[in-house]
Structure 1
Amino acid sequence: MAAPHPNQVAFREGVDYLFHSWTALKLAVDGEWGGHDSAAKRDWFVDTVVDYFSEKGKNVDSFDLEDILIQIMNDEFSILLEDQSEQHIAKVLEQLYLECTHGRYDLVQTLKQDSQKISGALKGNSQKLKKEGDEEDDDSSDDDEEDGDEDMDVDMESSSSKPRREKAEPIIDEDGFETVVKKRR
């Protein structure tokens, strides 16, 4: 088997960088919304898109590509894209493919830099959060902690120290519809 053409390698790298910086997909992988193998699913997703472009070439249908992005995000990560990011991703993929087929890799480099910025920012934030978390462990009466975690404290108290209430009977109105009652915390 012959080695892949440099344009194909560059396109694959560009798709990988793009998918690593796609917010919805990044959240899904980081949160393991696709299960413990979410990162492997993202890599498979990249391969699927690269294969789609290899098969269709310059005859890629934008709407078909968007549908593929939506379908995989929904099926593999249980995400319903409401931000229409699939449209932006599809456009970038098409532009990336066209540039790579002409031997231009500027967009690949831009995507690489964007991906590195996002990764660096997230690593910096997680280190900052860890440091703040260490400080909060030392001083549990911190005002910021009380303001930000009230709901969590209430939920933890209600589940550990109070007995569970029995489920209330549904309230049905005269038309036969159930009235939704907001749960108290």
Structure 2
Amino acid sequence: MAQPHPNQVAFREGVDYLFHSWTALKLAVDGEWGGHDSASKRDWFIDTIVDYFTENGKNIDPFDLEDILLQVMNDEFSILLEDGSEQHIAKILDQLFLECTQGRYDIVQTLRADAQKTSGAIKSSSGAGEDASSGDEESDEDEDGGAMDVDVGEGSSKPKKEKPEPEIDEDGFETVVSRRRR
């Protein structure tokens, strides 16, 4: 049996890092929302997405990909995504695949570095006297509860901060809220 091409290996690695950092999927696996074999279901999900890209190549329809992500999350983990994270994940998957087919691995390296930072932060934040060997836990939640935010254009990750919705009074005017600390 022939060894897989380095581009395929890199793509698989990138999908693995991405899915391990996807907050909704991580919560589902950690909480065993897909049953006691939730981790196996996540691994199957990763394999399914890798196979989907392998079979369809560059002819991936982003809306079909989003539908697949939504469907699997709903069917396997009983999650109805309403945070739009499937769009974010689909976009990163598409760009990850394109980059890997060109022999570039910037996104994979960014995802790997983010996973290592998070893993290291968990190890260093485990309290004194606790065993830090349980470092295979990862916490990649960002402030909006979505997936890890990877800016694929620049190869860096920054959490996005959402502004609170403005308060509109009955006359249609926006109420100004003071941000002063008391």
TM-score bracket for this pair, using the shorter chain length: 0.5 to 0.7
Gapped regions of structure 1 (runs ≥ 5): 132-185
TM-score (normalizing by structure 1): 0.66
Q: Please name the residue that 1:30 is paired with.
A: 30
Identify if the C-alpha distance between structure 1 residues 124 and 39 changes in structure 2 by more than 3 Å, giving closer, same or farther: farther
1:71/1:122 CA distance change after superposition, 3 Å = farther
1:82-161 equivalences under 5 Å are 82-124=82-124, 127-128=126-127
Deviation at 1:120, TM superposition (A): 3.5
Shift of 1:116: 2.3
Contact persistence 1:18–1:115 (CA under 8 A): no
Whichever residue aligns with residue 34 of structure 1, its letter is G
In the alignment of these two chains, the number of paired residues is: 130
Q: Which has the higher helix share?
A: 1
The residue identity in structure 2 corresponding to 1:24 is: A
Which protein has the larger Cα radius of gyration, Structure 1 or Structure 2? 1
Within a 5 Å distance, the mapping from 1:12-91 to structure 2 comes to 12-91=12-91
Query: Which residue is equivalent to 2:9?
Result: 9
Q: Quote the Cα distance in structure 2 between the aligned partners of 1:35 and 1:48.
A: 19
Gap regions ≥5 residues in structure 2: 131-182
Shift of 1:118: 3.0
- Give the direction of change, closer, same or farther, for the CA distance of 1:75–1:121 in structure 2 (3 Å limit): farther
Work out the percentage of aligned pairs sharing the same amino acid.
78
Residues 121-158 of structure 1, C-alpha deviation per residue, up to 9 Å, x if partnerless?
Answer: 44555x34997xxxxxxxxxxxxxxxxxxxxxxxxxxx
CA-based RMSD: 1.8
Aligned to 2:104, the other structure's residue is in SS state coil
TM-score normalised according to structure 2 size: 0.67
